[in-house]
Structure 1
Amino acid sequence: MEFAVDQALKIYSGGLGFLAGSHMKSAYALNQNLIGIAMLWKHGYYDQERNVDNSMKPEFREKFYHFLVDTQTRVSIDIAGKPVWVHAYYLPPDVFDTAPMFLLTTDTEGNDAEARSISYNLYAANNATKVAQCMVLGIGGTKMLDALQYEPEVYHFNEAHALSGAFYLYQKYKTAAQLKKRLVFTTHTPEEAGNEKHNIHFLESLGFFAGVPLATVRKITGHKDDTFNHSLAALRLARKANGVSKLHGEVARQMWGGYDKICAIDHITNAQNQAYWTDETLEKARTQSDTKTIMARKEVLKKELFKTVANQCGKLFDPKVLTIVWARRFAGYKRADMLTWDRERFHKLMTNEKYPVQIIWAGKPYPKDMGAINTFNGLVYLSNLYSNMAVLTGYELALSKLLKDGSDAWLNNPVVTREASGTSGMTAAMNASLNLSTYDGWICEFARDGENSFIVPVAKEGDINKQDMDNLFELIETQVLPTYYDRPEEWQNMVLTSMNDVNAFFGSDRMATEYYEKLY
């Protein structure tokens, strides 16, 4: 549904896209026999702008991409009883150093306004439109491959968004066994909202099952009642599946283990593309264990980030001051504003003269998620009180890179077990930023507390939010700040260890190889 391959191609929202983009870049570097199928979102996700009072304002604007090649190839799919044209554009590998990619749009001749709008916005709020988008990706994508005369040995559905394509393939290959031979599936989240369910008759009325009779759909997916679980259906139709970290693999097996006839669920830990994300000077210094150059370069990179802070917020940050960054998708379980829950303690942290700190927040809430938007805006209003607190808009690939380069500590505090993997901390670590994190997702495979990262102790029973908040403050006050200011050599050694550890396993060449060998 989303691929983040370059700042210029705005067809992604967050981590899922960043991950898929890194996968495409590594597939290209490794010369793998792989292509990507994506959606060409006319308005992208949204442009994150500001209202008069600096609160967040989502804006939707048409995007034009002159570097895409028109394949002149179209297929028609039936959505809610009417034909909808799907048109394919091609992203050549040498444009952004990716595997070959085909991008699908319904904004094409022969479609009425409603049909054209299906491919306008990533993750439409309207249920029928969102399902239609999934049908364009799934049925449209698999049908488009036939029209392009490309016959894959394996179809990899990255999340259940493309599930409708399985029913088109069932029609093509005639049996569930033949379909299973060709289908693999990645589940990316234990979150309820990320594992979609719809009424089976609603899906049938839209044409989601690509002409497969409802009785057959029930038989091959094992759904007896009228609630159709997309992820469960994918797990029953695929020959193999994977979670996206060791911990998430365990959570996924536990989560789905009570259901019969599901495929085996392995894990392939997420990773990011070093060639795209890592600053060359930092990387060269890492390979030479040159901590002095790393720290000198870090100061230069902080100054670059602080130009954006000054431009957006009118604040002059100091490159000598410890800078903590929280930047990712705004979602409730990620607890963006945790440090501000205790105002008195937050104020004490922000006004500490012995150990000064600067904190930056950035990220995009879903544009209809008022809870997440209110959290974002609450931080904006609070930042008016502090010259060392900034909330940035426009969190896309370019700003993400600046923040990774310019942070000293990368804050990540989701509720434990609810972050399937998380990947932003990987690219921060590649760029000499230390992870300051709860013990969840990929961190469990990476972190050695006090050696390559600072880890919040796992909360016991009771008020987990309060425990995590108290433990985070304690960690910052007694470990992070004193190490940075009083023991700079220890800090530098931690940074070098972190950089070496993240590069040893969390590069996407390893991930793409594991997908190729373990899953495909």
Structure 2
Amino acid sequence: MHGTFLNRLHTYDINPKFSKRAAYFSMEFAVDQSLKIYSGGLGFLAGSHLRSAYDLKQNLIGIGILWKYGYYDQVWNQDHYMEAKFVKKEYSFLEDTGIIFPVTIHDSKVNVKAYFLPPDVFGTAPLFLLSTDIPENDYLSRTITHKLYDSNLAAKIAQSIVLGVGGAKLLDIIGSEPEVYHMNEGHALPLVFYLYSKFRSEEAVRNRMVFTTHTPELAGNEEHSLELLEEMSFLHCIPLDEVKRIAKISGDTLNYTLTALRLSKIANGVSEIHSKVSQSMWQGNEGVCPIIHITNAQNKKFWKDEVLEDALNTNNDELLVRRKKELKQELFKEVADQTGKIFDPNVLTLVWARRFAGYKRAQLLLHNYEKFLGLISRKHEPIQVIWAGKPYPEDKLGIDIFNYINHTVEQFDRCAILTGHEMKLSAMLKKGSDVWLNNPIPPREASGTSGMTASMNASINFSIPDGWFPEFAKHGVNSFIINSKPTDSWVQRDDQDNKELLRVLEEEIIPTYYRDPNRWTTIMKQAMCDVYPQFDSDRMATEYYQKLYQA
């Protein structure tokens, strides 16, 4: 039965240029609004990767987890503070493969069931999603695949085992052993120990493994005690002294990213800047593989507005401007529905929309409150501002920032904060914004792909030069740059970056939008031209084959 299943994995003929068999392991995939198994940028990136793999006819299979409660649903409580709500999700378009197999977690057998997303449902490479929420398991085992990024440490470790070991075992069961195993971030790390147990050779593991590291942030580079990992069966029953030898560990803890770098033949950062940051972080350690850069990208075919692209290709500025206003009106219907505020499509509209994390500084625009108040109260050449994004449900700082912005701006008619930042709202915000604001503390933004899809839809990036942005930005030509200089004090840096943000906004962006609409249109068009093809995921998926898989 499983052999027959293998024969119908790819509904397209494999392009000989991409015939090497690859399996892509990711904790989240954002392939469609209806499949709520993603939290943010990592998932958006993985979803675009699968779409481009489909378009390019690559011999790639995705491996993920079917999260029963998704990430979470972002709602308001009765006092208008953000609340994370967990609701069961059902998907009739997923195919039950009938494949159930055991993995070992905490020295106990846990049954894993495989579901399948056929390529033609959403236009992606074939995707398997693993679940432990089945009657064959006890209640505790069923909860392993309930919540993406569960805050319980034991649950998180168990999730990694399901993804890494479960994914590899599934591929063996269906007879589709890859030539390349690609870990998208370190979540699937138990995979390397499974492969070592299978091949009994470090070299055999390393020859098959490639790795993408996505962040310099501590939370994205997990580290736990070897004792705990051994107790949880993370190490796949390999003796500790052997684990220490193959992972080159001298202490009593294991770092996911460092171990992945030591047991892969090659790795990549997700922008030029990020690869350099990653090299400086890790390459002083023994046995680390080369870290190149393959800059993240997004699938233009999926994210673009067809009318905007037609207007660009036919050099029809009138259509471009008219369509942009229509898209603003569509976004403003959502603003009105959520907040009761009516926004004006003729007013310059800034959007800040991404995960609420401390280093991303969603509140930077409000840092000097008096100046912010003057900015959003001006009668001549006014602006409108929208925020959206989901903090991690256990991130108190991120939730506090979200609530602070909400209760600060809810009194202002020209400011709004929206909930439910998933693929549908994300697309509306990118298409309906005039300016896409991004102001992280550099160099902590590894990539920042939201700005790419904004540019694809004639929204002008206004950003600190971090992540992908320096590879794209030409100030006043296709974007606007907030120059940020390092300081010894975070408060001083916020002061300085806020001043520069306001200066560029007041002296360049606002006057250009209102007084020189022809130049504004030219900048929009240049952004749309410059973002393609370099930041389209077809380029990225091609580079993964050329630079990682065939290395």
When the two structures are superposed, what TM-score results if normalisation uses the length of structure 2? 0.94
1:425-450 Cα distance to aligned partner (Å, 9 max, x none) = 00000000000100100001000011
Amino acid at match of 1:404: K
- Find the counterpart in structure 2 of residue 207 from structure 1: 233
Q: Distance in 2 between matches of 1:35 and 1:245?
A: 24
Identify which of 110, 125, 131 aligns with 1:105.
Answer: 131
Identify which of 469, 476, 480 aligns with 1:443.
Answer: 469
Moved over 3 A (4+): none
1:366-390 Cα distance to aligned partner (Å, 9 max, x none) = 0111111111011111122200000
Map 1:4-153 onto structure 2 (within 5 A): 4-153=30-179
Give the drift of 1:207: 0.2
Amino acid at match of 1:501: D
- Find the counterpart in structure 2 of residue 427 from structure 1: 453
Map 1:312-323 onto structure 2 (within 5 A): 312-323=338-349
- Find the counterpart in structure 2 of residue 243 from structure 1: 269
- Find the counterpart in structure 2 of residue 507 from structure 1: 536
- Find the counterpart in structure 1 of residue 496 from structure 2: 467
Maintained 8 Å contact 1:73/1:148: no
Identify which of 271, 280, 289 aligns with 2:297.
Answer: 271
Give the drift of 1:484: 0.3
SS in 2 for 1:505: coil
Amino acid at match of 1:309: V
Maintained 8 Å contact 2:308/2:320: yes
Maintained 8 Å contact 1:302/1:319: yes
SS in 1 for 2:276: helix
Give the drift of 1:458: 2.3
Give the drift of 1:416: 1.1
Map 1:96-495 onto structure 2 (within 5 A): 96-462=122-488, 463-495=492-524
Give the drift of 1:54: 2.2
Amino acid at match of 1:73: I
Unpaired segments ≥5 residues, structure 1: none
Unpaired segments ≥5 residues, structure 2: 1-26
Alpha carbon RMSD of aligned pairs, Å? 0.8
Q: Distance in 1 between matches of 2:245 and 2:174?
A: 31
Maintained 8 Å contact 2:335/2:341: yes
1:302-355 Cα distance to aligned partner (Å, 9 max, x none) = 000000000000000000000000000000000001111111010010011112
Give the drift of 1:227: 1.5
SS in 2 for 1:35: strand
Farther-moved stretch of structure 1 (308-317 vs 372-381):
372-381
Q: Percent identity?
A: 53
- Find the counterpart in structure 1 of residue 6 from structure 2: none
Q: Distance in 2 between matches of 1:285 and 1:171?
A: 56
- Find the counterpart in structure 2 of residue 519 from structure 1: 548
Q: Distance in 2 between matches of 1:296 and 1:313?
A: 25
Give the drift of 1:459: 1.5
SS in 1 for 2:533: helix
Q: Distance in 1 between matches of 2:176 and 2:242?
A: 27
Give the drift of 1:290: 2.2
Q: Distance in 2 between matches of 1:384 and 1:429?
A: 28
Q: Distance in 2 between matches of 1:138 and 1:408?
A: 42
1:15-55 Cα distance to aligned partner (Å, 9 max, x none) = 00000000000000000000000000000000011111322
Q: Distance in 2 between matches of 1:444 and 1:150?
A: 40
